Structure 1
């Protein structure tokens, strides 16, 4: 049985992804900075013989180390890491304070960076592994009416990190890819001030928003693939490919 670590797994994409990997027979270590949500999800997921949880903020290097330690203690390996934990909030560029930028860089970029570092050290010992990062299509396709320079800058760093890690560790059979979602139906939408996520369907050529299961299924494909690395895969219903004219 393979073991996967999923950060930010108490709600939304992370929770759905954890459920899928459990059903596919993986051992799963879930993480969240929100202990209440994490415990609730742990109880709901079941599969207790395949499941472990680690409470902690991924911006702290110790959290990534604890995730790897827990995976090894419980299940004996770290085969896949999904860096799903992240925050996102629109704010006008001219209003961004230093503390705003620091928060996005610390949680999104630094969290992905050092959690990956902890996992790669173990994957090198094992001789293989897979890392899947979560970026955003907004890195390559900005929207004038959705100002979010601070979080998008941090996500751009994640895209760059993905390609660099793929290059550095390809010879070690460690595959590193990123999923760049479009609008996905998650609790994050309400947190960013979007009360009706479906109202944004027109941004996608398919004229619908994505579901968390769409992301989970792509993550599972990437985890299982032995010949995909260094890719930033847009999962966006055609958001980047083109525009529809109403």
Structure 2
């Protein structure tokens, strides 16, 4: 019960998996969520089925799942010290072809899921000495790419960026820090899902001339979770994607 507890949504693969593993290695209790139970169980087994990890399968677009995730942390570990809202869906689709169902999907998982999981978590953080909420956004909110039309998911992530600053303002006096990490191109299963077969082929979009690894994001999450004086910020962790361009 003396250990700190982190919740990671979308924790079965990619960035979420790397975050969960890093915090597990740092001695945290970890509550892992994923919409796909089979993948979640597989990752849990890869971690060695540790006793200080609890699994909550389910789609965070359902408010009841958000509540269950937080309730699980309280039931087994007694607190929520860090929440990482990593669960998300993302795919390009030209604006003129976006359907109502597309908006429902992206807003449901990316924004609604973040909103309500955070709401339940902050209610618990208020009972203690504060906590840290870390959202995963995207550099595309502030750095649009004409050749990658993704208005529906980008707008949903824009809502996450706005929510970050508003919650930081509302709960700063209670020592609840709220920040967002905006990744660049990260090597993860998401790339394959949106049709990118070779993520390294996009390395030139970053000044460092490489794509990011899930560990790059996990390390930034740990830095923010460890800080007591950073809140209301959106951090680009993008290899220089937003800072500038390299023309050969």
Judge same fold: TM > 0.5, yes or no: yes
Tell me what 2:33 maps to.
31
Q: Any unmatched runs of 5+ in structure 2?
A: none
Tell me what 1:117 maps to.
119
Deviation readout 1:71-103 (Å, 9 max, x if unpaired): 111111100000000000000000000101110
- Of 147, 150, 165, which aligns to 1:148? 150
User: Aligned runs of 1:167-186 on 2, under 5 Å?
Assistant: 167-186=169-188
For residues 31 and 192 of structure 2, the distance between their equivalents in structure 1, rounded to whole angstroms, comes to 27
Q: Using structure 2 for the length normalisation, give the TM-score.
A: 0.98
For residues 28 and 131 of structure 1, the distance between their equivalents in structure 2, rounded to whole angstroms, comes to 14
For residues 215 and 239 of structure 1, the distance between their equivalents in structure 2, rounded to whole angstroms, comes to 14
Deviation at 1:46, TM superposition (A): 2.2
Deviation at 1:64, TM superposition (A): 1.3
1:241 equivalenced with 2:247 (yes/no): no
Deviation at 1:127, TM superposition (A): 2.7
Which deviates further from its counterpart, 43-52 or 109-118? 43-52
Q: Partner of 2:114: helix, strand, or coil?
A: helix
User: Aligned runs of 1:127-138 on 2, under 5 Å?
Assistant: 127-138=129-140
For residues 83 and 149 of structure 2, the distance between their equivalents in structure 1, rounded to whole angstroms, comes to 30
Q: Count residues in correspondence.
A: 246
For residues 139 and 46 of structure 1, the distance between their equivalents in structure 2, rounded to whole angstroms, comes to 37
Tell me what 2:202 maps to.
200
Deviation at 1:178, TM superposition (A): 0.4
Q: Any unmatched runs of 5+ in structure 1?
A: none
Tell me what 2:6 maps to.
4
Tell me what 1:19 maps to.
21
For residues 2 and 92 of structure 1, the distance between their equivalents in structure 2, rounded to whole angstroms, comes to 43
User: Aligned runs of 1:39-188 on 2, under 5 Å?
Assistant: 39-46=41-48, 48-188=50-190
For residues 124 and 64 of structure 1, the distance between their equivalents in structure 2, rounded to whole angstroms, comes to 17
- Of 182, 190, 193, which aligns to 2:192? 190
The answer as to whether partners of 1:22 and 1:47 remain within 8 angstroms in 2 is no
Show structure 1 runs of 4+ deviating over 4 A: none
Deviation at 1:47, TM superposition (A): 5.6
The answer as to whether partners of 1:179 and 1:233 remain within 8 angstroms in 2 is yes
For residues 10 and 92 of structure 2, the distance between their equivalents in structure 1, rounded to whole angstroms, comes to 20
The answer as to whether partners of 1:32 and 1:54 remain within 8 angstroms in 2 is yes
For residues 50 and 245 of structure 2, the distance between their equivalents in structure 1, rounded to whole angstroms, comes to 45
The CA RMSD over aligned residues, in Å, is 0.7
